Structure 1
Amino acid sequence: MSSRSGKRRIGVLLGVAVFAYLLDLSSKLAVVAKLEHHDPIQVFGTWLQFEVIRNRGAAFGFGEAMTIVFTVIAAVVILVIARIARKLYSTPWAIALGLLLGGALGNLTDRLFRSPGGFEGGVVDFIATPHFAVFNLADSAIVCGGFLIVILSFRGLDPDGTLHKD
């Protein structure tokens, strides 16, 4: 069964990616300028705080010695999304991939341009919740995009807009 509408959704993908990227970048610029080297700000008591850290690893600080690996992974994700985009006819998939792309670009920008630079920069994380990793808006976009991809896959919708039944 096909649900292809006949028009590629690259514009949707790029629009979502640019929005996610700019939101992440502006939030990081603001928190670094206003909050870095200051005590955490309690937004909702200890349930939600803004606390700036530089994370050279992955979630929970895992793999700090492998920063270059995470940089390469982000670059590969971007290339895979570009390849999928050539056959992208599904708006939900365009939104999901746009979130992934914007988030990957946001964290990749940190790894390339933040100290010490050269593929080893620390990602700015600032959203802190109890008993969980400190994260940023790029991380949130990646998780939301990934979750949406799982839902779309379980529902049988492919990026090309076709429905399949397993």
Structure 2
Amino acid sequence: MQTAGGTTLSEDTQPDTAMAGKPERDDDTPERASRRRPGLMLACYLIAAAAIGLDQLTKALILDGVEPGEPVRVLGGLAYLSLTFNSGAAFSMFTDYTWVLAIVATCVVVFLVYLARRIVYPAWAIALGLVLGGAAGNLVDRYLRAPSHPGDPLDGNFAQGHVVDFISVFEPRGEVFAIFNLADSALVCGVILIVLLELTGRGFSPQSRRPKGEPEPER
């Protein structure tokens, strides 16, 4: 069809009309989000490494300066340094299955290392870095602390090291809340952040953030 001036009204010469209805590309598209992966993966690993390093440093200082059964009052009584050795999981559960916990924790750490390669949002780099660092921090204890002897995996104690816990809030000896360490803190904070991200619609992948019914952008 032609107007009097000779201009056509076909779709071929109406780019605005041709593009109508197509979703605009934004930073949530898989193509653009994937460009962030190397940097965010590195950030995740660095956060995890920092959590592991700080956890192991504080454990070494506590082992050197605090005796088991002799809590040290800090922060005006808000917390106590109560050195304990935990063979179980959080809150001293499954104390008779230390090696099983070590295997489970190893699988979790390997999975998180792989998952970090797919991070496309900064908040998820923080969350997964904290969880990875917390899980790996305690896993170091499982493999390297007594009664484990990593040089002889056949001695019956392999991967049965006891985790060093030392933070007791409000009262000594875990009288108010279970004694924990910095790895536990990192792990809990990371899990809480993950839950908040999911509840607020900030999913792990761009696809999970797309409103229901919205078509995927064309590549």
TM-score by length of 2: 0.70
Give the equivalent residue in structure 2 for 1:124: 164
Of 42-51 and 125-134, more deviation after overlay is shown by: 42-51
Give the equivalent residue in structure 1 for 2:96: 65
1:109 counterpart = 2:140: yes
Decide which of 25, 35, 49 is 1:6's aligned counterpart: 35
Q: Which has the higher contact order (CA 8 A, sep 6+)?
A: 1
- Please provide the CA RMSD for this pair: 1.8
Give the equivalent residue in structure 2 for 1:30: 61
* 8 Å Cα contact 2:83/2:164 also seen in 1: yes
Decide which of 119, 126, 129 is 1:88's aligned counterpart: 119
* 8 Å Cα contact 2:44/2:129 also seen in 1: yes
1:165 & 1:143 partners in 2: Cα distance? 29
Query: Tell me, what secondary structure is at the counterpart of 2:73?
Result: strand
* 8 Å Cα contact 1:112/1:121 also seen in 2: yes
Shift in Å, 1:52:
0.5
Of 135-144 and 27-36, more deviation after overlay is shown by: 27-36
Shift in Å, 1:44:
3.7
1:154 & 1:20 partners in 2: Cα distance? 25
TM-score by length of 1: 0.92
Query: Tell me, what secondary structure is at the counterpart of 1:71?
Result: helix
* 8 Å Cα contact 1:18/1:102 also seen in 2: yes
Shift in Å, 1:59:
2.2
* Larger Rg belongs to: 2
Query: Tell me, what secondary structure is at the counterpart of 1:95?
Result: helix
- Gaps in structure 1 of 5+ consecutive residues: none
Aligned length: 166
- Gaps in structure 2 of 5+ consecutive residues: 1-25, 149-157, 213-219
2:90 & 2:132 partners in 1: Cα distance? 18
Decide which of 109, 130, 134 is 2:179's aligned counterpart: 134
